[in-house]
Amino acid sequence: MSTTEILNAEEIQFKIQRLAWELYDRHSRAKTLHVVGIKDNGYWLAEQLVTRLRDISDIDVTLHELVMDKDNPVLEEIQIDLPEGAELALVDDVLNSGRTLLWAVIKLMSFR
């Protein structure tokens, strides 16, 4: 089976750095930011973003892992400790149908 490289390691790191700057730009006035990574690769990406955000800003950044059953998100009860009214960024590694992100947003909105 043949594979096609879309981005090499250096390009991936550059994209992550750009995303971190984008997050900083959008939340530069925030005192705190909660970055929520969807389990597995979304959480890995969130970790990378948090590391870079801490390097480039003085925002107090807290990392959270969101564990969801991606095959059956409707029944999943989310356990995450977010303060009311918290600014947050939801991170996942891919966007196919958007179903997982949609359910994550719906569940996280219940914390408002």
- 56 assigned to some structural domain: yes
- CA–CA separation, 67 and 88 (whole Å): 16
Q: Which structural domain range is residue 62 located in? A: 9-109
Q: Taking 60 as the threshold, does the pLDDT of residue 112 lie above it? A: no
Segment 14-30, tens digit of pLDDT: 999 999 999 999 999 99
- 42 assigned to some structural domain: yes
pLDDT of the residue at 32? 94
- CA–CA separation, 53 and 63 (whole Å): 11
Our count of domains for the chain comes to 1
Q: Where are the alpha helices (DSSP H) in 61-98?
A: none
Whole-prediction pTM value?
0.83
Residue 60's CATH number: 3.40.50.2020
Segment 65-95, tens digit of pLDDT: 988 777 766 656 667 777 877 899 999 887 6
Average pLDDT of the chain is: 86
